[in-house]
Structure 1
Amino acid sequence: MKLGKLKSISAYARAESHLIQQTNYGAIVTLFGVCLAIALFTSEAVEHFRPYTLTTMGVDTVRDQHLYVEFNMSFPALPCQALSLDASDVSGILGGDYSMAKNGELHKIRLAQDGGRLAVEEYVAPRHYGFALRKPRAEVEALNAAFRANEGCLVLGWLRLQRVAGNMHVSVHMDDYIMLERAQSAISAALGSRPVNHVVNGLFMPEEGVGVNVSHHIHRMAFGTHKADEHPEIINPLDGTHRIVTEKTGIFKYFLKIVPTEYIKLGGHKLQTNQYSVTEYDSPAHPEQLQLPSVWFVYDMSPVTVVMAQTRRSILHLLTRFCAVVGGVFAVTGMLDKAVHKLVTSVLK
């Protein structure tokens, strides 16, 4: 094929120089197009070099036997002497308040009526002695004194649970419940026959008698070792939850579906953690049916795992976006130039 025939397939025909007309408004449209292209180029370049998270799902194949739980909760109307944290699962493994405190996994901080800490030292639960009548007199008196002072309790720490369905709950045991009811009856008798209906440190005191109040604030509830500032993609829906009892107290239940999550950073560092969804339910407590005021976290493991991997886009993706910017700006400025030219010529006629 001769070179003379090759130009017949050219898609870019050139007009003769004497047929080309340059205008001032054409120059303005051109400068506008150049500025627009530079702005779009910059935006695409910044977006290209910024890592993004690619989320995929698959079947959970991890055989780790433990589930790490980190918690931080405060109970403004119940003293530390009355609160107990227990955990159990479908495998039959039980964990009590004393054993967890002794191992340093559970910490209790006494709170004053205004919410401040009473002391730097934490409260350490004594060994469980059984029914209230068998408890040491000093322990019974300490519980009554804390209740009369309207003390609260900050419960925080971490647990290693089996990687199976189970629950953990903060409750008042039967013996402590009986002592609190007796103390409340004494308070009601001291107040005389006057109707009482007010709130003290989150403790609702209805006319028919005072209930054991499990109002609570969940500052943190996480199933994993991640930090919120390092992994903002992972959200704990229970963080910041507040439940204040305004009527007769009862049982609060949070049902959690835990989803194993693997987070992979750009450098290849992997973090095994968990996310979860939650629904909640509350109901009145019935002591005659051995239902005592408590806060339950009932959890179950999901068979699906989520992989969140940080990655960058390829250089071909950037080139494609640049070409799209060039073509788009050229087409838009071309249409704009034609519209301005048509408007100017119609005005000048």
Structure 2
Amino acid sequence: MHSSGGMSRVFSRVRNLDAYPKINEDFYSRTLSGGVITLASSIAMLFLVFSELAMYLQTVTETKLVVDTSRGEKLKINFDISFPAVSCTLLSLDAIDISGEQHLDIVYLLKAFSSYLIHIILTTIYALQKHAVIKKRIDSNGNLIQVRMDKIGTIKLGKPIQKHGGEIAHNETYCGSCYGAELSADDCCNSCDEVREAYRRRGWGLMNPDLIDQCKREGFVQRIKAEEGEGCNLHGSLEVNKVAGNFHFVKSFHLANMHVSHDVKSFEDDSYNISHKINKLSFGDHYPGIINPLDGVHWSQSIPNGMYQYFLKVVPTVYTPLKGAVIRSNQFSVTEHYKGPEGRQRSLPGVFFFYDLSGIKVNFTETHTSFLHFLTNICAIVGGIFTVAGIVDSFIYHGHKALKKKRDIGKLVLHYDSS
């Protein structure tokens, strides 16, 4: 009995704390205006609740600028550029940065084989390499030119000539001459490209390839003539140091970071058309919302032997999604400049991309409204509309009641116009 009485006193005290006293239904007074206000407030409440739910489910991207303190990273350059008036043999991609690192003629010639499967396999193999750059022969309309596989790199005339002179003896290893461009006595040049590379290292121009045994056997000059009127597409990616530098599409040799000679003069009647279309150019991986200002840009050259320059300002960017790995990429802005030939002085023909790194990094972070914040807003919506609707209903109810009282005691007189 004592325990039961104690619980009753506890329940009585809790009951006294009720902030929502109940009114007997006999004292309720339901009105038409109250019903209209309830219906309108319910519709408004549902609309605001669903709007808040949509905002809660929506992902918001926050932007923050910080100083870029990263060091020793690499910069990935992705591109897809077509040159409708330059053959693949006379076009190469070189990359140089201010640290002195050079990547010369970093392309692979990819023919359109009769077997599409072989084409896909080679593309995949090249894509796994550090500099996955692929060169394709195209016609003036951008269509890939079909070339039979068994015609690639076949010997044209006779047997190879050894470095010391004479043809290869039985079981003798071939070692071709570099024609004075050897850096040591043990250097061998077994193909026309290796001879040209040796000349490139020396900074010399290969002006008469018909005198080079390797180029003569491989039909280098014939290949250039056969590709006359063709174009070339280069696509892939480069991985360079994350410092200022440039990459360019020309056929040239280098000496102390300066272009000193050009080997296209003998093969294109001293003219070089650098018309080009940039199908794609980006720095780093793709992330949501990225805009690459040079994608789809097309430029047609009216004067031969000009130099087209793009000056790029690369801004490091980090994108942090709600789910998945962090994406480290880059944005860039660009200005363009064309330098044509001036009198007898000609600019080195080609397309140059000069890039510099910004010291500011942009951080994009996907955020989501917290559930507690969403719940607080829902309570605010329900409570606010309920309170405002109660105030409006009370004002209408008491106003109508006051008018009715005045009318009953005769103090409310309505005037009607007899006319």
Q: Same fold (TM over 0.5)?
A: yes
TM-score band (shorter)?
0.7 to 0.9
Matching residue of 1:105: 132
Deviations 1:16-36 (A, max 9, x none): 999987544553343233122
Preserved CA contact (<8 Å) 2:245 2:356: yes
Q: Which residue identity does 1:238 align to in structure 2?
A: L
The count of corresponding residues between Structure 1 and Structure 2 is 303
User: Which one of the candidate residues 108, 114, 126 is aligned to 2:193?
Assistant: 126
**Cα distance in structure 2, aligned partners of 1:213 and 1:114:** 15
CA separation of 1:314 and 1:247: change in aligned 2, threshold 3 A: same
What TM-score, normalized to structure 2?
0.61
Gaps of 5+ in 2: 1-12, 110-128, 154-191, 200-204, 253-261, 404-413, 415-419
Q: Is 1:47 aligned to 2:55, yes or no? A: yes
**Cα distance in structure 1, aligned partners of 2:392 and 2:207:** 88
Matching residue of 2:407: none
Q: Which has the larger radius of gyration?
A: 2
Q: Is 1:176 aligned to 2:264, yes or no? A: yes
CA separation of 1:164 and 1:291: change in aligned 2, threshold 3 A: same
Preserved CA contact (<8 Å) 2:138 2:232: yes
**Cα distance in structure 2, aligned partners of 1:106 and 1:278:** 23
Runs of 4+ in 1 over 4 A off after TM superposition: 12-23, 120-125, 246-249, 327-342
Matching residue of 1:185: none
Deviations 1:307-343 (A, max 9, x none): 222221222321343245346645876798799999x
SS at match of 2:268: helix
Larger strand percent:
1
User: Which one of the candidate residues 298, 302, 312 is aligned to 1:256?
Assistant: 312
Q: Which residue identity does 1:179 align to in structure 2?
A: F
**Cα distance in structure 1, aligned partners of 2:300 and 2:98:** 31
SS at match of 2:356: strand
Matching residue of 1:277: 333
Q: Which residue identity does 2:377 align to in structure 1?
A: R
Q: Is 1:141 aligned to 2:168, yes or no? A: no
Deviations 1:146-171 (A, max 9, x none): 22xx2111101211111111000112
SS at match of 1:40: helix
Preserved CA contact (<8 Å) 2:305 2:346: no
Matching residue of 1:192: none
Give the fraction of aligned pairs with identical amino acids, expressed as a percent: 35
CA separation of 1:117 and 1:331: change in aligned 2, threshold 3 A: farther
Deviations 1:248-271 (A, max 9, x none): 562221111111122222246222
**Cα distance in structure 1, aligned partners of 2:80 and 2:21:** 73
Preserved CA contact (<8 Å) 1:285 1:293: no
**Cα distance in structure 2, aligned partners of 1:336 and 1:48:** 30
**Cα distance in structure 1, aligned partners of 2:391 and 2:86:** 73
Matching residue of 1:291: 347
What TM-score, normalized to structure 1?
0.72
**Cα distance in structure 2, aligned partners of 1:100 and 1:261:** 28
Matching residue of 1:114: 141
Matching residue of 2:232: 153
Matching residue of 2:356: 300
Q: Is 1:238 aligned to 2:294, yes or no? A: yes
Q: How does 1:1-349 map to 2 (within 5 A)?
A: 22-24=30-32, 26-97=34-105, 99-101=106-108, 105-119=132-146, 126-127=193-194, 128=196, 130-134=205-209, 136=215, 138-147=219-228, 150-173=229-252, 174-181=262-269, 212-224=272-284, 226-227=285-286, 231-246=287-302, 250-267=306-323, 269-286=325-342, 288-326=344-382, 329=385
SS at match of 1:318: helix
